[in-house]
Structure formats: C-alpha cells, structure tokens
Amino acid sequence: MVTDSVSSAVRAFQAPKGTYDLLPPDSAVFLAVREAIAAPARRAGYGYVETPGFENVELFSRGVGESTDIVTKEMFTLTTKGGSELALRPEGTASVLRAALQANLHKTGNLPVKLWYSGSYYRYERPQAGRYRHFSQVGAEAIGAEDPLLDAELIILAVDAYTDLGLRNFRLLLNSLGDRECRPVYRAALQDFLRGLDLDEETRARIEINPLRVLDDKRDSVQKQLADAPLIRDHLCEACKAYHEEVRALLTEAGVAFEDDPRLVRGLDYYTRTTFEFVHDGLGSQSAVGGGGRYDGLSEMIGGPALPSVGWALGVDRTVLALRSEGVELALPAVTDVYAVPLGDEARRALFGTVTALRRAGVAADFAFGGKGMKNAMKSANRSGARFALVAGERDLAEGVVQLKDLGSGEQTAVPLAEVVASVKARLV
C-alpha cells in the first residue's frame, strides 16, 4: 500500500507543462554552454548582474511593448497581497536596464556600462521542440553609448561564443530599423500598405499601435500578403544608413559572415537601428538560437534619461539543441577523478579523511558511502567516470599504504597514505 501511495504522489507532482528539470548528466552540458557564452563577454569587460525573477508588469508593457505577443499573450502575471501587479520576467534587457538605472551606474562617468547575465525566463507559449514556457538565456548589454563599434563588438562576442563551442552551421541575419527620425516615415508607409490587406481584427489593431509587429507575424496566411510590403532599408535617413554601413564594414573586417535580412524586426518594440538574429537550420521551424540589437529609446520609455544602448540574449536551450543537431560533443571536465573504496570501518574513517584532503587540494573525489561491499563499490567507481580508485583494507592501513588503481589500465600501486594527495595530483597532470 505504501508503494502505491508513493507512486500516486510521484505521478501527481510533475514539472508544469512546458517546463523541464535539468539533471545530470545533461546539466553539465548546459553549464558548459552558459560558461562558453559568457566567457567572451567577461574578457571584454562585461560585469555580472543578477535581477529578480519577477518585476512590475509596467516595466515590460512599456519597454517590450503593449502590442507584442510577449505582453499581450505570453506573460505570467500575478497580483500581490498588497495589490501590486507583477510579472515573471519574459526577457532580460528591460530588467537589466532597470537595475542599472536604479543603482545609478550611468552616473559613474564610465560609459558604456557593460553587463552580462544568465537566468531563467518565462513565457506562456504552446510547448514544442525548442520552445518552452521556462527557458534559459545568457545576455550581454552595453548601456549608455551610441557607437557602431559597440554594436560590432557585441555581435563578434556572440559569434566567438558559438565558434568556441564548436558550432558551425549557424547564420547571422542583420538589419537596421532606423531611428526616431526616419522610422515615422516608414511607419506611415507600412500602415498604408497593411490597411489594404485581408487581416483579422486583432492584427488590424496592431497596425495602429505598432505596424512592425505585423511583419513579425509567423502565420503563412499573413506572410503571403507581405511579399510586397515596403522595406525599412528604403526609408532609412542618411545617418542611419551610414551607421549601418559602418557596422557591416566592421563585421566584414573581423571575418564575421552575415546575411542582410530587410524583413528582420524581431519580437520586441524597443529595437532601433542595428537588429540581428542568429539562426540554425538544424532546429526546424524554431530556428532562432539568439539575437539582439540596439535600443536607444528604452531608457526613456521606462522613465530614465536618454541612454543609447545595445545588447543580445542567446538561448542556452536552443544552443544545446543546435550542438546536438551537429553532433558536437563538448569536452566536459571530469565530475570525479578519484573514487575511494574502503574495506572496513577503520578504512572508512581513514579514506574519508584522504578524500577530504584531495578535495581541498583541488582534486574531484568521491566516496563509496553506505558501507557497500567491494564488488558494488568498484561498480560505483567505474560508473562515476573516475580515473583512479583508492582501495584500502585493514592490512593496507597496517602497512601505512592504500592501493591506487588506474581504472583504465587496471594497474594498481601501493602508495603511502601520507603521499596520496601528491601522488594523485602528479598522475592527473
């Protein structure tokens, strides 16, 4: 009866729909991907920032955009006991900018403020391969400077991260969305075009709020009607054209391949000028693995001063899927280098102390807990992936030694107990 009730409880409590649990050994791959994405940003002077998992709803409705799917359909919202409206963060940029403004980082006189972050984000979407309601991203933001070199820097950092991971079949799509000078002219031309199409009521409402959102509609019935839609590149002012050409030239000089995509707008309202997306054709319809762009007006949208900024967010989940589609195996550090197998109570105490000393010396070591017999303990040692097993019984301890066994070759050597740490470290070099 107890077993039945336990099984029933396990069935009842499962991860919510559209989410996942990250467990070993897969979790090691995710950690390695996060580290690889963050490494180029850290080398470029980006400092780590961590923000709450929830924010005031208005931060996202103002910054991300009231007409976006993220705000209108996908945010998880809640009302506190005090009546405040909060939302689980659906993206990172607005939160990071809010945190920088709140801490007055822009007043230190050292602009741009360069920050990177990593965390979980939440959107109420239809779960499918590569798209979850809970997902992980690593992002980088450069706040407070309008400079095409900065746009190029961030794009190059992302490209370097993917390349360092061993990813090869990703593509960089690039576009410019203009600025507050030339965007209104394009907006009017696009609205005139869209009003003549056969669109549903909800989509028609977007024409008046933010017509660029219609261009981002993925439905075939909408996309077929957009074939002759006006393009933003034909309406850019001279300043935006020159800025975009400089970004393109810098990327070319750095050896970064890109594809001009005049229809790329992405799903957030705050983008201006440089906009980009990384896609991987091995992921099917959910091909985007990351992206970003310049958001020169976002600070003012959320009540701050004018702070031209640029950034990106790269999906950890999507990147892992892309690596798997290419068959890329990451070189992961060993979870365990040494596995201790004690035979008897005296050996348990002695080897436990040795394991502690190994760990303090920087060696990954584990122990056959639970009083396992020799056979089961050695099976655990082999399953752990350790290179060596430390085996000791009463006779070994009486002689002041332990047996150091190479689990690959089977070779076994008696090592004085006091010299175990030095001997193991020498062999692991």
Spatial distance between the Cα atoms of 92 and 25, rounded to a whole number of angstroms: 27
- Lowest-pLDDT range, 63-77, 327-341, 404-418? 63-77
Spatial distance between the Cα atoms of 304 and 234, rounded to a whole number of angstroms: 32
Spatial distance between the Cα atoms of 108 and 106, rounded to a whole number of angstroms: 6
- Is the per-residue pLDDT at 268 higher than 70? no
Q: Write down the pLDDT at residue 5.
A: 52
Where residue 4 falls among pLDDT bands split at 50, 70, 90? low
- Is the per-residue pLDDT at 75 higher than 90? no
Q: How many CB atoms lie within 10 A of CB 395?
A: 10
User: Bridge partners of 389?
Assistant: 339, 405
Average pLDDT over residues 351-370: 95
- Is the per-residue pLDDT at 382 higher than 60? yes
pTM here is 0.88
Q: Write down the pLDDT at residue 351.
A: 95
Burial of 426 (0-12, 13-18, 19+ CB in 10 A): exposed
Query: Would residue 313 be called left, alpha or beta, if left means φ above 0 and alpha means ψ between -120 and 50 degrees?
Result: beta
- Condensed to tens digits (0 to 9), the pLDDT of residues 19-33 reads 889 999 899 999 999
Where residue 73 falls among pLDDT bands split at 50, 70, 90? confident
Residue environment code for 9-44, b if the CB has 16+ CB neighbours within 10 A, otherwise e:
eeeeeeeeebeeeeeeeeeebeebbbebbbbbbeeb
Residues 381, 389: contact at Cβ < 8 Å? yes
- Condensed to tens digits (0 to 9), the pLDDT of residues 40-68 reads 999 999 999 999 999 999 898 876 766 56
Burial of 345 (0-12, 13-18, 19+ CB in 10 A): exposed
Helical ranges in 178-270 per DSSP H = 183-194, 201-209, 212-215, 220-223, 238-253
Q: Write down the pLDDT at residue 48.
A: 97
> Residue 418 corresponds to which tokens in the numbers above?
């006091």
Tell me what the pLDDT averaged over the chain comes to.
90
Average pLDDT over residues 165-193: 92
Spatial distance between the Cα atoms of 429 and 412, rounded to a whole number of angstroms: 18
- Lowest-pLDDT range, 227-231, 338-342, 365-369, 423-427? 227-231
> Residue 103 corresponds to which tokens in the numbers above?
């801490």
CA quadruple 297, 301, 307, 312: dihedral sign: negative
- Is the per-residue pLDDT at 35 higher than 60? yes
- Is the per-residue pLDDT at 269 higher than 70? no
- Is the per-residue pLDDT at 207 higher than 90? no
Eight-state DSSP code of residue 233: G
Query: Would residue 236 be called left, alpha or beta, if left means φ above 0 and alpha means ψ between -120 and 50 degrees?
Result: beta
Percent of the chain with pLDDT over 70: 94
- Is the per-residue pLDDT at 270 higher than 80? no
Spatial distance between the Cα atoms of 144 and 310, rounded to a whole number of angstroms: 9
Spatial distance between the Cα atoms of 60 and 77, rounded to a whole number of angstroms: 11
> Residue 287 corresponds to which tokens in the numbers above?
């091909």
Q: Write down the pLDDT at residue 136.
A: 94
Hey, what amino acid is at 358? L
> Residue 311 corresponds to which tokens in the numbers above?
């950034």
Q: How do strand 401-406 and strand 388-392 relate by DSSP bridges?
A: antiparallel
- Condensed to tens digits (0 to 9), the pLDDT of residues 282-318 reads 887 778 999 999 999 899 989 999 999 999 999 999 9
- Is the per-residue pLDDT at 17 higher than 60? yes
Half-sphere exposure of 285 (CA within 13 A, CB side): 6
Please give the domain boundaries of the chain with CATH numbers for all domains: 2-182+236-325 (3.30.930.10), 338-428 (3.40.50.800)
Q: Write down the pLDDT at residue 7.
A: 54
- Condensed to tens digits (0 to 9), the pLDDT of residues 87-141 reads 999 999 999 999 999 999 999 888 999 999 999 999 887 777 667 888 999 999 9
Where residue 2 falls among pLDDT bands split at 50, 70, 90? very low
- Condensed to tens digits (0 to 9), the pLDDT of residues 310-358 reads 999 999 999 999 999 999 999 888 889 999 999 999 999 999 999 999 9
Where residue 1 falls among pLDDT bands split at 50, 70, 90? very low
